[in-house]
Amino acid sequence: MKNFAHYTVEDFAAEPLFIQWVQQPDDVELSNFWQVWLTNHPYKSHEIAQARTLVNQVSNMYEGLSNGEVRSLWQRVLESVNEIPEIDPLDKGVKPLASVFYLVRWLVALLAGVVLVGLVLWKIYLK
C-alpha cells in the first residue's frame, strides 16, 4: 500500500486512485477508503481539497476532447520534454569516459584505504 501521508497536492492529483475517486464520487468503495483515510489523517484535508480542485480543473479542460485527441496531446508533450537538452542522456561517446573516470576514482580510493590500513598495521606490529 502506498504511503499517502507523505503525498503533496501534486502527488495526490497524479495518483490514479485519487483521480478515480474525484471523477467517480458515487463509487462507494473508493469513497469509503478515502473518507477513512481522511479521518485517520485530518492534517491532510487541506491538501486533499486542493488536489480535488486541481483534478477537477484538469478534467474539465479535457471534457471536449476525444480519447485520440488526448493521446495526441500527451504524445506532443512527451516529445517536447524529450527534446529538452538537460534531460538527454549522456552522449554515447561521453558515457564510456564517465564510466572510466568513476572506476579510476573508486580504485584510487580503494588503494588509498589499503595503504592507510597497511601503515597503521605496520606501526602497530613493528614498534
Ordered by start, the domain boundaries in the chain are 1-88, 90-127
Q: How far apart (Å, rounded) are the C-alpha atoms in residues 97 and 15?
A: 39
83 by DSSP, 3-state: which?
coil
Is 0.75 topped by the overall pTM? no
Q: Name the residue with cell 497524479.
A: 14
> What is the structure's pLDDT at 42?
93
118 vs 68: which has the higher pLDDT: 118
User: What are the tens digits of pLDDT across the range 37-54?
Assistant: 999 999 999 999 998 998
> What is the structure's pLDDT at 121?
83
